Amino acid sequence: MALSRIWSGFIIVAIVVACVKCFFFGETEILSWMVVGKADDPTNLTGVNGIIETCWTAVELCLKLIGILTFFMGLMSIAERAGGIRLLSRIVGPFFSKLFPEIPKGHPSMGHMIMNFSANLLGLDNAATPFGLKAMESLQELNPNKDTASNSQIMFLCLHAAGLNLIPVSVIALRASKNASDPTDIFIPCLIVTFVGTITAMLIVSFKQKINLLQPVIIGWILSLSILIAGIVFYITSLNADGIKSFSGLLSNGLILLVILLIVLGGIYKKIDVFDAFIDGAKNGFET
Residue 167 covered by a domain? yes
Q: For the chain, how big is the Rg over CA atoms in Å?
A: 23
Give yes or no for a contact between 131 and 86, defined as CB atoms under 8 angstroms apart.
Answer: no
pLDDT at 175 over 70: yes
Residue 38 covered by a domain? no
How far apart, in whole angstroms, are the C-alpha atoms of residue 217 and residue 96?
Answer: 10
What pLDDT shows up at residue 173?
65
What pLDDT digit, counting tens, does each position of 188-226 carry?
A: 788 888 889 999 999 999 999 999 988 999 899 889 988
Nearest 5°: the CA angle 109, 126, 162 is: 65
Residue 106 covered by a domain? yes
Residue 2 covered by a domain? no
The set of residues, in sequence order, having a beta carbon less than 8 Å from that of 200 and lying 6+ positions away, is: 162
What pLDDT digit, counting tens, does each position of 10-25 carry?
A: 999 999 999 998 888 8
Residue 28 covered by a domain? no
Give yes or no for a contact between 213 and 206, defined as CB atoms under 8 angstroms apart.
Answer: yes
- Split into its structural domains, the chain has a count of 1
Nearest 5°: the CA angle 140, 146, 148 is: 100
Residue 30 covered by a domain? no
How far apart, in whole angstroms, are the C-alpha atoms of residue 184 and residue 244?
Answer: 6
Residue 45 covered by a domain? no
What pLDDT digit, counting tens, does each position of 270-281 carry?
A: 999 999 999 988
Residue 219 covered by a domain? yes
The residue range of the domain holding 192 is: 72-286
How would DSSP label each residue in 122-135?
TT-HHHHHHHHHHH
